[in-house]
A and B are shown apart, each in its own frame.
Chain A
Amino acid sequence: MAAVLLIASAGTATRAHHSFAMYALNEEVVLKGTVVRFRWVNPHSVLSVRPDSETDQNPAIWNIELSSPGNLTRTGWSRRSVNVDDRIAVTLHPLRSNEPGGSCMSVTLLATGQVLECGAGEAIRAGERPNLP
């Protein structure tokens, strides 16, 4: 229960349906760590990661925001693309408030090397043509 509360209170990425202006869109951070939760939900899916750099005594869980399941599906994701305990490297735009969180740009599954793009801008721009495959 305590771990759940830590995840929930870390950062504001779990709030629904807001602007991406809270992220530093001109900055990139690469986070390597372990998935502690992946919520496949509207309006924004959330990937919660315990970075390798954090100690077990005081893990600052990073909540990383992705797009909606509908949009993610159309850029190659499924709700099983990432699972708890997966080792991943995430490239993200960090929160401007310096809280541990950010908006997802790409995820690399370290076990297989597979790269999943998750930039919100890409998902949106992808819809700007007709008859996409």
Chain B
Amino acid sequence: MRRACPSTYFRPLLFVSLALAVLYDTRSASGQEPAINRAPTAKDWAALAELPDWSGVWTPNVTDQFAQVKTNPVPWKPAAAAQVQHLVTEAAAGRPSGLFVNCLPEAMPSWMLISHNAMEVLFTPGRVTMLGESDGNRLRRIYTDGRDHPADPDPSFHGHSIGRWEGDTLVVDTVGILPQTYLAISEAVGVPNNGDLRIIERMHLAGPDELHDELEIIAPNVLTEPWKTTRIYFRQRAKQYDIVEGVCLHGSFLEETDSNGNPIFVPVPQPPDGTPASIGR
């Protein structure tokens, strides 16, 4: 920029700088992140068209999930391995533990690991959102607007996820997952992650209609080392694959009629043993 007389250009420059700061939410001099999500511009929406096409409905490769139980065993710590072996034995004997019968979310990473059901991936400015069909509220929000993780995130079922695009690969980092959620290898076999869980993913197309999620699961309280596994999904475009609502608890209620003649939901009476199966009891 040419040197200009300060007294002539200072005020307009100041005005323009302030205007830019307001419009584009640049970081303040102190480096703090802005406190609002600014409205996306037309350019932001247009930029989504440059991303790889992850539209459609994605159905999982379950055969590969089962195969990996043998070909890619989880590096459990001894205490966790003993619990896992007990659950495997019980399931083989026809008494599977119902880790998810309470219909709480399968959570991260288990919904990527064990779901047999479809999912979809939505792109909006600054965000990738993943929604699953059925399986207790499968919903992940991955922030791609450059933000960091909060210093002390409230623990949640799916964690706090931030992502960035490296070419056509979405690299996602997830922390802040509730310690009670299972690191599961099936609906009957898994151990609570016990906290300090971190998941790094590289998600990308491996073919025109095949999506891979390469997971690195870092669970220092139950694993001897990070566990790497790839989960495979196939794209469906037929309308009969449209995601439908799937409320996990629906099957736990019966349709009956109350004394006023209203149709109502009434809980299914539980079997005599009462409590849902859980490990360690």
A contact set with B: CB distance below 8 Å: 4-5, 8-9, 12, 14-22, 24, 39, 41-44, 46, 68-71, 73-74, 96-97, 124-125, 127-133
Task: Please tell me if the beta carbons of B118 and A127 are within 8 angstroms of each other in the complex.
Answer: yes
The distance from the CB of A92 to the nearest CB of chain B, in whole angstroms, is 15
Question: Are A14 and B94 CB-contacts (below 8 A) given A128-B63, A128-B234, A133-B238?
Answer: no
Partner of A8, one of B186, B208, B247, B254: B254
Question: Are A9 and B98 CB-contacts (below 8 A) given A70-B133, A74-B241, A127-B60?
Answer: no
A to B CB contacts below 8 Å, 8 in the list = A4-B254, A17-B100, A19-B91, A68-B246, A69-B246, A128-B61, A129-B234, A130-B208
Among A14, A19, A20, A73, max chain B CB count under 10 A is at A19
Cα of A42 to Cα of B237 in the assembled complex, Å: 23
Task: Please tell me if the beta carbons of A131 and B94 are within 8 angstroms of each other in the complex.
Answer: no
**A-contacting residues, B51-86, CB 8 Å:** 59-63
Question: Are A43 and B269 CB-contacts (below 8 A) given A18-B98, A68-B134?
Answer: no
Say whether B271 faces chain A, with CB atoms less than 8 Å apart: yes
Question: Are A124 and B92 CB-contacts (below 8 A) given A8-B269, A130-B235?
Answer: no
Task: Please tell me if the beta carbons of B235 and A131 are within 8 angstroms of each other in the complex.
Answer: yes
Report the number of A-B residue pairs with Cβ-Cβ less than 8 Å: 130
Partner of A16, one of B188, B251, B271: B251
| Interfacial chain B residues near A127, Cβ < 8 Å | 59-60, 62, 118, 234, 236
The 7 closest A-B pairs by CB, nearest first: A127-B59, A130-B209, A96-B94, A19-B188, A19-B96, A21-B96, A42-B246
Q: How many residues of B contact A (CB 8 A)?
A: 53
Cα of A133 to Cα of B236 in the assembled complex, Å: 8
What is the interface of chain B mostly: helix, strand, loop, or mixed? loop
| Interfacial chain A residues near B210, Cβ < 8 Å | 130
Cα of A93 to Cα of B117 in the assembled complex, Å: 22
Instruction: Write out, one digit per residue, whether chain B residues 117-151 have a CB within 8 A of any chain A CB (1) or not (0).
Output: 11000000000000001111000000000000000
Closest to B253 in A: A41
B contact set with A: CB distance below 8 Å: 59-63, 91-92, 94-98, 100-103, 116-118, 133-136, 186-188, 208-210, 234-238, 240-241, 243-244, 246-252, 254-256, 268-271, 276
Task: Please tell me if the beta carbons of B186 and A16 are within 8 angstroms of each other in the complex.
Answer: no
Task: Please tell me if the beta carbons of B248 and A21 are within 8 angstroms of each other in the complex.
Answer: no
Cα of A17 to Cα of B117 in the assembled complex, Å: 12
Task: Please tell me if the beta carbons of A128 and B59 are within 8 angstroms of each other in the complex.
Answer: yes
| Interfacial chain B residues near A132, Cβ < 8 Å | 236, 238, 241
Question: Are A74 and B252 CB-contacts (below 8 A) given A97-B94, A128-B234?
Answer: no
> Apart from A15-B101, A21-B91, what are 16 other A-B pairs with CB-CB below 8 Å?
A15-B98, A16-B101, A17-B100, A18-B100, A18-B187, A19-B91, A22-B94, A24-B94, A41-B250, A42-B134, A68-B117, A68-B246, A70-B133, A70-B244, A71-B117, A125-B62
| Interfacial chain A residues near B92, Cβ < 8 Å | 21
| Interfacial chain A residues near B209, Cβ < 8 Å | 130-131
The distance from the CB of A61 to the nearest CB of chain B, in whole angstroms, is 13
Partner of A22, one of B96, B135, B248: B96
Cα of A4 to Cα of B266 in the assembled complex, Å: 11
The distance from the CB of B107 to the nearest CB of chain A, in whole angstroms, is 13
Among B135, B250, B255, max chain A CB count under 10 A is at B250
Cα of A130 to Cα of B249 in the assembled complex, Å: 30
The distance from the CB of A13 to the nearest CB of chain B, in whole angstroms, is 9
Among A14, A22, A130, A131, max chain B CB count under 10 A is at A130
| Interfacial chain A residues near B102, Cβ < 8 Å | 16
The distance from the CB of A64 to the nearest CB of chain B, in whole angstroms, is 13
Partner of A44, one of B186, B251, B276: B251
